[in-house]
Amino acid sequence: MGMNIFYWIVLLATFAGIYFLGSRTELKLWARVVIALVLGVIIGFIFGDLAQTSKWIGDLFVRLIRMLVIPLIFTSLVAGVVSMGDPKRLGTIGLKTIGLYLMTTLFAIIIGLGLGTVFQPGQGMDLTGVEPFISGNASTSVTDQLFGIIPENPISSLANGQVLPVIFFSILLGIGIIMGGEKTKSLGDVFSSAAEAVLKIAHLVMQLAPYGVLSLIAWVSGTLGMEALQTMLKLTTLLYCGCVLHMILVYGGALKFIIRLPLIRFFRGIADAQAVAYSTSSSSATLPITIQCVQKNLGVSQSVSSSVLPLGATINMDGTALYLGIVALFSAQYFGIDLALSDYFLIALTVTLTSIGTAGIPSASLFLLAAVLSVIGISDTQTALIVGFIFPVDRVLDMARTVVNITGDATVSVIVAKSENELDESTFRHEAVI
């Protein structure tokens, strides 16, 4: 009981210190979030399982963000389509966006398979004593996923938080408002005002990010500890290195050499979104903050950001693709399966399809391993053993994957905006405002 009280005294004192930094200094929000991340790790390691008692603070923060996801997608996407003025532009932007997402996913798979081949994470690994993990999740077929894009009832899709059907309906509604001309102009103005109002709420919620992040990271580090990480240190290190390589080489290369924009400004501009993505492990939950960072810090127009980012939070899963590629080779190496070139191709194809269909929630990609591993002859029983090995620390792996995913969303939005002359470069090159 005494330690519990002492823990809360330390936690509240840390919160007070972070608040003081924010109110008395000009320290940016992203810097406060990074400080909160570091302090959360330290507090978690010191107090261990006691950090579980404050997890509700982080859960409350994530709940506040999730509250904004569907309203933000619906209002900003409709407003973005209306602001284009021509439905043909939407088709152009959509093709560029999907093409870029597929291209970056391909590079992620290549990096994942390359690292897995070179460093052989499955060699010499001992899974003795690992309890197989059997998932009750039923995988959805590609056909069902495609049909699910079209909502039977848009209101039901909004109420149930079904992102792809909401995106589909929002685009159609925006096109309808454009086609209505003067008769529907006032409705378009309503959605523009509503989108701005939701963004203002998102800005308020973002101010709570340091406290939510600290609580979540303290819980993760406190409940897992170093012992759990050491059991699969090689795989964890390989994934983190792969994620960093992908962000620097693929995203950084595209920004620096294709559209010639400074990388430091880009990464500073999305630092808030990256920190929240790392702590929440959810692309969907991070979406409101990603949109605000991309618009306010990187100068991407509303019409581009409101169409590219929601789509990216749903189909762009580069971190997942990289992760599944590494784990597929990890599994093949552990079970002594020699892979031919055709097996690598099958892995790449399956990873692409499964990563696109991944829900933007924590650890969702872990349950897609069966589809990927089955193409190289790994049985359900063997898959359950691999999942059982990874599952205890998958949260740590998922945190890195999610940072890659939202960084890719922001990168594609900047590239598309630049190609459409919808990027305010003076804003991009200026010091971040949030």
Q: Which DSSP string do the residues of 162-177 spell out, in sequence order?
A: -HHHHHHHHHHHHHHH
- Give pLDDT tens digits for 418-429: 999 999 999 998
With CA atoms as reference, report the closest residue to 218 among 401, 6, 5, 14: 14
The residues near 66 (Cβ < 8 Å, ≥ 6 apart) are: 161, 284, 285
* Coil, strand or helix at 421: coil
Least confident of 60-69, 197-206, 227-236: 227-236
**Residue 362 in tokens:** 């924590």
What pLDDT does residue 140 have? 52
Bridge partners, residue 300, by sequence: 423
What pLDDT does residue 138 have? 46
DSSP conformational letter for 138? P
181 dihedral zone (left: phi>0; alpha: psi -120 to 50; beta): left
Asked if 93 and 80 touch (Cβ cutoff 8 Å), the reply is no
With CA atoms as reference, report the closest residue to 149 among 369, 302, 315, 360: 315
Rounded distance, CA 296 to CA 290, Å?
Answer: 10
Rounded distance, CA 23 to CA 258, Å?
Answer: 40
Question: Can you tell me the mean pLDDT for 142-159?
Answer: 79
- Give pLDDT tens digits for 294-316: 999 999 998 899 889 988 887 88
Q: Is the pLDDT of residue 348 over 70?
A: yes
Angle at alpha carbon of residue 9, lines to 7 and 13, rounded to 5°:
120
Percent of the residues in the chain that have a pLDDT greater than 90, as a whole number: 35
Assigned architecture for domain 2-429: Orthogonal Bundle (1.10)
Burial of residue 276 (number of CB atoms within 10 Å: 0-12, 13-18, 19+): buried
Question: Can you tell me the mean pLDDT for 160-168?
Answer: 81
Least confident of 5-9, 77-81, 144-148: 144-148
Question: Can you tell me the mean pLDDT for 15-19?
Answer: 92
Rounded distance, CA 230 to CA 286, Å?
Answer: 29
State the first-to-last Cα distance of the chain, in angstroms, to the nearest integer: 40
DSSP conformational letter for 300? B
Rounded distance, CA 22 to CA 31, Å?
Answer: 10
**Residue 54 in tokens:** 């404050």
What pLDDT does residue 137 have? 47
Tokens 């039901």 found at = 156
**Residue 140 in tokens:** 């959805």
Q: Is the pLDDT of residue 244 over 90?
A: yes
Tokens 């240190």 found at = 233
- Give pLDDT tens digits for 206-221: 888 899 889 988 988 8
Percent of the residues in the chain that have a pLDDT greater than 70, as a whole number: 89
Rounded distance, CA 144 to CA 150, Å?
Answer: 11
- Give pLDDT tens digits for 361-419: 555 566 677 778 888 888 878 888 888 788 777 888 888 999 999 999 999 999 999 99
- Give pLDDT tens digits for 28-68: 887 888 899 889 989 998 998 899 999 999 889 888 888 88
Q: Is the pLDDT of residue 290 over 90?
A: yes
- Which residue ranges make up each domain of the chain? 2-429
Residue ranges of E strands in 138-238: none
DSSP conformational letter for 237? H
